[in-house]
Structure formats: C-alpha cells, structure tokens
Amino acid sequence: MSANHTRAQSRGIRITVVGVLLFILLVIAAFVHRTGQPRVMPAAEMQANGAYLLETPRDIGDFELIDHHGEPFTPARLEGHWTLLFFGFTFCPDICPTTMSFLNQFVEALEGTEARDTQVAMISVDPARDTVAQLAGYVPFFNEDFIGVTGEFLDIHRFATALNTPFRKVPGQDENYLVDHSANVVLINPRGDYHGFFKAPLDLAKMKVTYRSIRVLWDR
C-alpha cells in the first residue's frame, strides 16, 4: 500500500470522526436549547398554578380613564405588550401593598423580552380618594414603571365589570371606609383583550413559569 493511499485513508477517517463529533455536538446543543425553552402547560396544570385563561380572549370595549401622570388611559395603552392589572386602592391596609410589592418582585424576576414588554397598572376602586396626585405619591413607591389609574366611578365600575373584578364600598363606615375587591391579577394580551387572570394567593415561582407558558402559547 502506498504512502499516499495511507495518508488519504487517515485523512478520511479524521474527517469522518470530526463529522460525527460535530453531529453529536449539534444534537446536544439542540437538546439543551429545547430544554431551556418554556413549555406549554395544559389548562389543568395552569389552573393548578393559579392561572385561568379564557377560551376566547374578550374585547373589553372602549374606556377612558386617567393615569397618575394625568395622561389618558385608553385601550391604546394596552396594545403591543402584555399588561397585568390589579384593582386596589391607596388606603387599603393589607392586600394592596402586599400585592403591589409582589408584582414588583415578579417583574424584577423577568428577563429579556418578557421584562421589556410587560407593564403593570393598579386600577383604583376608590376614585373619590384616589386622585391623580394621590396615586402619583403611592404607585411609584413600589416601582417607578408601574401605572396608577383612576377616573369617574361609573367608568371604573364598567371597566372592572368587563374584567369580572367586582368591588364595593364596605357599608356603615365613616370617611376611613374600606372597599371590598378582588386580589386577583388580570392578564391583558398584546391585542388589548382580556386574556385571563392569576388567582390569589399569588405564588412567585408558579406565576413566573405559567406566565412564560402563556406567552409561548400566544406566539404559536
């Protein structure tokens, strides 16, 4: 056997080995990438994690409220990103500050695109006391990017009703009254439609993985 033939055989073997190794590396890389991607949870698992999605996202109609900067808060403010809405009030002694703190932790745990296109808004269920100035001194305390929203009582009531989040003033109290309201967090999709809600009590780890799953399902 000639030396040239032997070298050709050796070169062919090396090329084959390199090709096999590259194939193995590609398979491993694809597996790692796939396992690193959020998976789509079935509805039962989402509900076990506290997320309830509407079978068909609902158009919540027109509305015109006002944010804590004095700017209009209309349907256009809900389009092009995901929005988490919490209905509360600044004089709330427990549920509201706890939930707002939780939502701050939640958005701080998000990364990349999830962090960039997720907004949080607190809709006041006590517009008589929650003026623009009152919200401006309350909402940014939890997160500078959070939005406080107020408006006329009937407008807020219609908005809350469209999102299945009723509230009512506790009767028989003085000016330091409380307001009964839901502690759920409403999820609005990038079309501005009512997509579902996260049921209280909220769990950071469960809500984070479920939110990612919801987004993956939406992008399909």
- CATH number, domain with residue 100: 3.40.30.10
Shared-domain flag, residues 2 and 103: no
Q: Please state at what angle helix 95-109 crosses helix 204-219, rounded to 10 degrees.
A: 60
pLDDT digits (tens, 9 = 90+) for 64-74: 999 999 999 99
Does the annotation place 195 within a ligand binding site? Answer: no
Shared-domain flag, residues 68 and 22: no
Q: Residue 159 domain-assigned?
A: yes
Q: Residue 82 domain-assigned?
A: yes
Shared-domain flag, residues 129 and 162: yes
What average pLDDT score do residues 85-114 get? 96
pLDDT-above-70 percentage for the chain: 83
pLDDT digits (tens, 9 = 90+) for 184-204: 999 999 999 999 999 999 999
pTM here is 0.81
Q: Residue 160 domain-assigned?
A: yes
pLDDT digits (tens, 9 = 90+) for 120-171: 999 999 999 999 999 999 999 999 999 999 999 999 999 999 999 999 999 8
Shared-domain flag, residues 59 and 139: yes
Contact 177, 158 (CB under 8 A): no
Distance separating alpha carbons of residues 142 and 145, to the nearest angstrom: 9
Encoding tokens for residue 8?
Answer: 């050709």
Shared-domain flag, residues 13 and 49: no
Domain that holds residue 20: 1-32
Q: Residue 38 domain-assigned?
A: no
Q: Residue 37 domain-assigned?
A: no
Instruction: Report the number of distinct structural domains present in the chain.
Output: 2
pLDDT at 32 over 60: no
Q: Residue 87 domain-assigned?
A: yes
Tell me, what's the pLDDT at 10?
A: 64
Shared-domain flag, residues 86 and 143: yes
Distance separating alpha carbons of residues 108 and 115, to the nearest angstrom: 8
Length of the chain: 220
Shared-domain flag, residues 23 and 48: no
Does the annotation place 33 within a ligand binding site? Answer: no
Does the annotation place 92 within a ligand binding site? Answer: yes
Shared-domain flag, residues 18 and 106: no
Model confidence at 40, in pLDDT bands (50, 70, 90)? confident
Shared-domain flag, residues 28 and 48: no
H or E stretch covering 187: strand 185-188
What is the per-residue burial (b if ≥16 Cβ within 10 Å, else e) of 157-190?
Answer: bbbbeebebebeeeeeeeeeeebebbbbbbbbbb
Q: Pick from 106, 166, 183, 119: which is nearest to 147 by CA?
A: 119
Tell me, what's the pLDDT at 34?
A: 44
180: CB partners within 8 A, 6+ apart: 167, 168, 169, 170
Shared-domain flag, residues 13 and 62: no
Exposure of 217 in the CB half-sphere (CA atoms within 13 A):
16
Q: Residue 177 domain-assigned?
A: yes
Shared-domain flag, residues 112 and 212: yes
Q: Pick from 218, 181, 184: which is nearest to 51 by CA?
A: 184
Encoding tokens for residue 149?
Answer: 């929203």
Q: How far is CA 66 from CA 18, 72, 153, 186, in A?
A: 64, 5, 12, 18
Shared-domain flag, residues 3 and 75: no
Tell whether the torsion through CA atoms of 30, 35, 41 and 46 is positive or negative: negative
